[in-house]
Structure 1
Amino acid sequence: MTTDYQQAREALGTRLRELRLSAPEGRLTGTRLADRLGWPHSKVYKLESGRQTATSDDLRAWANGVGRPDVFDELDARLRGFESHIRSWRRQLAAGHRPVQDNWNLEVNRSKVIYAWEEASVPGMLQTADYARAMFLRYADLHGSVRDTEDAVRVRLQRQAWLYEAGHRLHVLIWEAALHALICSPSVLAAQLDRLAGTVGMDTVELGIVPLCAALKIPPANGFWVLDERLVIAEDWHAEIWLDDADSVATYQRVWRTLSESAVYGADAQRVISRARRPLSAW
């Protein structure tokens, strides 16, 4: 998907160059356009080559700068097209974590069956408030985003009501490494593992743990969620990736099934959780 994203940036850059070279007043050099817009000269060339993602304000300025304000809507539609799939954290978190959680709640509430894989942390729908709080604080530090932690925690926990509604089913796989990751304090992790153990046997939850010693057919790469076979949400360091084309959804379903072959369930999953919990008993 990163390749698709880069291709979309390059296609937008090609269109920007076409507009610069065919300006109504005559061909504009990149230097002249940059001077007109008050930009560093390098910005024009980075946008045209697809090495920098334009903002909506950039596109409006470009359209006005080349004397074609009428093309702004077209340019902005192109931007929204690839930004709707590659949702950069920089843009998503401009107003804090709560809006991101609100969007997640909307999609989850539209769904009946969800498949999830998490390799580094306990999935949000199974988190305690303290664990979720620690996660939001860590990511706020990483991205330098607004600290709306308590609002974000509250909205994330609201999503868990989905688990108690008839007709819903969460199939979740977690790599054992996530059970040992001290992204929070030991006491918070201990309580989180107790909460996780309590989900084993729930009617709406199928919890599988992939032990560290399990043979793997594929590497345990980034976490993802498949919602009703209509949408995949995958997470990377720079962005959240939303995929709704049939081929991509089918690929992630195949990945999930492959990982599930290495998982343990029921009492065996409980034993793996207990093994991770044991060193935390003093807390």
Structure 2
Amino acid sequence: MRFGETDYQQAREALGTRLRELRFTCPDGRLTGAQLAELLGPGWTKSKVSKLENGRQTAEAEELRDWAEATGHPEAYGGLLAQLRGFESHIRSWRRQLASGHKPVQDAITAEHDRARVLTIWENNLIPGMLQTADYARHVFTRHANLIQSPRDTEDAVRARIRRQEGLYQPGRTYRITMWEAALRSLVCPPSVLAAQLDRLSSVMGLDTVELGIVPFAASLKIYPGNSFWMYDDRRVVVEDWHAELWLDDTDTIATYTRVWHTLRESAVYGADAQNLINTALRALNSH
């Protein structure tokens, strides 16, 4: 079963139920929500206590520690933190991940990449990070930081992404990359930057570590080109959405994404046909 939003909400509600149990079983007697908020101090309200207990808000780790101590159950903190980490390890909100900027996110992905021998990618609207030029990556990071309103560490993030591309030249690695033609044409950067990016795509097509396929707009599709995702060997899938990344590692989910990738791949073109699509996109840029 896929670990998605429903599972995430159920896990958050289970954590809230545990928090309520601690409030009800204080050594000196049950506390009301207002009493607990007063004990917890600045930044706490009866409403916040209610939201946490009913799974409508996710607690920070430090808030769980304060809750355990205020209810007289400091020994419960370890279990609470384990519950929180359990579901956060699957759904990683951009707000939390980008609290310190994009570079820590890049470092986390690099750790996964370094463990993998086969990286399987589907991209529906951007050039994959493994193939991005520095200028293209810079514009992508800037736009995402604007959206999430996160700290700007663009240059550090760009350097981290470009360093990861060293894997393209390491024997024993395989990059199976399939993208929709939209990725060749999305103007998430100035036309001149996209033109240089398309030239970069052409240059990596000759690498023996890279299998690059492009699904043309005109292709007959057996399944719609949904969210982008990355599969690290056969042990983990990372799926990107607007609010979060999903890190998924159960066997059934990985099997589903494997089928999706192979189904999309059936509509892709390779070699000279893929190069023709890149050239067509370049001519369209140059005609503007």
Normalised by the length of structure 1, the TM-score is 0.97
Q: State the shift of 1:87 in Å.
A: 1.3
Deviation at 1:125, TM superposition (A): 0.4
Tell me which amino acid in the other structure corresponds to 1:10: E
Alignment RMSD (CA, Å): 1.2
Output aligned runs, 1:36-55, within 5 Å: 36-38=39-41, 39-55=44-60
CA displacement at 1:35 relative to structure 2? 2.6
Looking at structure 1, the residues matched to 111 and 53 of structure 2 have their Cα atoms a distance apart, in angstroms, of 36
Q: Which residue of 2 aligns with 1:86?
A: 91
Percent identical among aligned pairs is 63
Q: Distance in 2 between matches of 1:165 and 1:224?
A: 23
Aligned length: 283
Task: Find 1:69's aligned residue among 63, 67, 74.
Answer: 74
Alignment match, 2:133: 128
2:50, 2:220 → 1: CA distance?
A: 48
Q: In structure 1, how many angstroms separate the alpha carbons of the residues matched to 2:69 and 2:218? A: 60
Could you say what secondary structure the match of 1:104 adopts? helix
Classify the secondary structure of the residue corresponding to 2:110: helix
Q: Deviations over 1:61-97 (max 9, x none)?
A: 2112211111111111111111111111111111111
Q: Residue 207 of structure 1 aligns with which residue?
A: 212
CA distance in 1, matches of 2:47, 2:145: 30
- 1:20 aligned to 13, 18, 23, which one? 23
In structure 1, the partner of 2:14 is 11
Q: Give CA deviations for 1:212-249 in whole Å, capped at 9, x if unaligned.
A: 12122222111100011111111111111111111111
CA distance in 2, matches of 1:125, 1:72: 40
Unaligned runs of 5+ in 2: none
**Shift of the alpha carbon at 1:282?**
5.5
Cα distance in 2 between the residues matched to 1:257 and 1:227 = 15
Q: What residue in structure 1 maps to residue 180 of structure 2?
A: 175
Paired residue secondary structure (2:136): helix
Please state if 1:244 is matched with 2:246. no
Structure 1 residue runs without a partner (length 5+)? none
Scaled by the length of structure 2, the TM-score of the pair is 0.95
**Partners in 2 of 1:81 and 1:20 — Cα distance?**
22
Q: Which runs of 4+ in 1 moved over 3 A?
A: none
